């Protein structure tokens, strides 16, 4: 499973893509967030962190498949 990163999440991780190892089971968005926070603790400090699955914002109970397109969306500001 690959996750695309944007904005400050790229800076925190040091890459624009994270690959979740094959032996790690993340069945839904909540499990994915837990895994991400263990691997990259500074992500927990963001004021918000949205996850998009197949170009749609997902909730914690959204089920994940290895073939899904997943993206981390950091907090954004506008004006």
Residue 78 confidence (pLDDT): 57
pLDDT digits (tens, 9 = 90+) for 13-57: 999 999 999 999 999 999 999 999 999 999 999 988 999 999 999
Domain-embedded: residue 6: yes
Would you say residue 79 lies in a domain? Answer: no
| Predicted TM-score (pTM) of this structure | 0.89
Q: How many domains does the chain have?
A: 1
Between residues 34 and 76, which one has the greater pLDDT? 34
Q: What is the CATH number of the domain that holds 8?
A: 3.10.20.30
The reply to whether 26 falls in a domain is yes
DSSP for the chain reads -EEEE-THHHHHHTSSEEE--TT----BHHHHHHHHHHH-GGGGGSS--EEEETTEE--TT-B--TTS-EEEE------
Asked whether residue 20 is domain-assigned, the answer is: yes
């Amino acid at each position: 499973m690959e996750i695309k990163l944007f904005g400050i999440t790229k800076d925190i991780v040091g890459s624009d893509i994270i690959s979740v190892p094959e032996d790690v089971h993340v069945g839904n968005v909540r499990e994915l967030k837990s895994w991400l926070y263990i691997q990259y603790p500074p992500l927990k400090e963001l004021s918000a962190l949205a996850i998009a699955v197949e170009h749609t914002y997902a909730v914690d109970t959204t089920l994940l498949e290895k073939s899904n397109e997943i993206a981390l969306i950091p907090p954004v500001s506008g004006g």
